[in-house]
Each structure stands twice: as C-alpha cells, then as structure tokens.
Amino acid sequence: MKFKFNLIATLLFMGSAMAAGHITKAQKEKTIECLGHFSATAVLPAETIEVKNMEYALASVKVIREYLASEGVKDDEMNKGMNLYVDKVYGKPFNKSKNAECNKFIYKQIKGSEEKIEKLSRTIYAG
C-alpha cells in the first residue's frame, strides 16, 4: 500500500512538472543570451542596421521576456544575463550570424514564436 502511494505521488509530481514545460538550465541560459543579442541589436545606431532588423529585435525581446516570465524566470535574472551579453557586444556592428543562430534557437524553443515575432514586428513602426 505504501509503495502504491509513493508511486502515484511520484507520477503525479513528475507529470505536473512536465506539464508546466520547465526549461533546462542550458536552455534558459541560451534564451537569455539571445535576449541580450536582440536587446543589443534593438539599440544599434539607425544608420548601421536595417529598420526591419531593429523591429524584429524589439519584437523578439518582448516575446522572449514573456516566455521566460511564464517559465518562472525573474526579471532580475533576465536583466543580469542580458546585460552581460549587451556589455560584451556594445559598440560592435550587427551580427548576422548570431541573429540567425538566435532566430533558429528561439523558433524551436518557444512554440509559435516565429509567427508572434513576425506579427508584432509589423506593428512597431507600422512596417
């Protein structure tokens, strides 16, 4: 009887943890790194980046922040990780390869993100 109780309790706990869709530490770190990349991209001087890339970066920041918050990541943790990345790339030109890498990762990590980002990006500067 005790074994059955422990088995059921364990299964319920594991099921609820999986249902919440928690991300691994590595996934969280990569997502925050991409948040930093898109944040840095969004504040590049206008003459150094196409407007569509800036719009896309701003939309990506919003979608990623919402996702991380839904996964229980605190704003302080997001900001700390994001700022570490931004500080590392501040003053450098737009990184197309990092942009493509982050797009690919975020689209896979966050269900429906490609469509959300695309839709939101068109509303930023009425593009």
* Segment-wise mean pLDDT, segments of 10 residues, the chain, 127 residues: 53 48 91 96 90 94 98 96 92 94 97 96 77
Q: How many angstroms separate the CA atoms of 68 and 22, rounded?
A: 10
User: What is the predicted pLDDT for the residue at 6?
Assistant: 46
User: Which pTM was predicted?
Assistant: 0.80
Domain range spanning residue 68? 23-124
Domain-embedded: residue 17:
no
Rg of the chain over Cα atoms, rounded to whole angstroms, equals 18
Domain-embedded: residue 72:
yes
User: What is the predicted pLDDT for the residue at 4?
Assistant: 52
Domain-embedded: residue 15:
no
Q: What domain count does the chain have?
A: 1
Domain-embedded: residue 14:
no
User: What is the predicted pLDDT for the residue at 21?
Assistant: 59
User: What is the predicted pLDDT for the residue at 81?
Assistant: 94
Domain-embedded: residue 11:
no
